[in-house]
């Protein structure tokens, strides 16, 4: 995957926690964070990264994946 990238993180209730874009020059733009939802977002969280060609990588984050 190569920039530009769209990054979305959603909580279990499909509430948007973070939305950002990463430009070709590596700069992060259009960062939208929703602190009130971040605090109350429930697991599992779903992070999706999509490139300009529509290729997508989706990762599910659970409390177990955070413990190492």
Per-residue confidence (pLDDT) for residue 44, from 0 to 100: 95
Is the per-residue pLDDT at 56 higher than 90? yes
**Of the ranges 9-23, 28-42, 52-66, which one carries the lowest mean pLDDT score?**
28-42
Structural domains in the chain (count): 1
Which range marks the domain in which residue 19 is found? Answer: 5-66
Percent share of the chain, pLDDT over 70: 82
Name, in order, each residue with C-beta under 8 angstroms of 25's C-beta and a sequence gap of 6 or more. 3
Per-residue confidence (pLDDT) for residue 24, from 0 to 100: 86
* Rounded Cα distance, 24 and 65, in Å: 30
For 31-51, the pLDDT digits (tens) are 775 555 455 688 999 999 999
Contact indicator for 21, 29 with CB cutoff of 8 Å: yes
């Amino acid at each position: 995957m190569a920039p530009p990238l769209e990054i979305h993180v959603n909580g279990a209730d499909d509430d948007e926690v973070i939305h950002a874009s990463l430009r070709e020059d590596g700069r992060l733009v259009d960062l939208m964070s929703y602190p009130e939802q971040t605090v109350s977002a429930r697991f599992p969280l779903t992070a999706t990264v999509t490139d300009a060609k529509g290729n997508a990588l989706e990762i599910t984050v659970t409390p177990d994946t955070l413990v190492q």
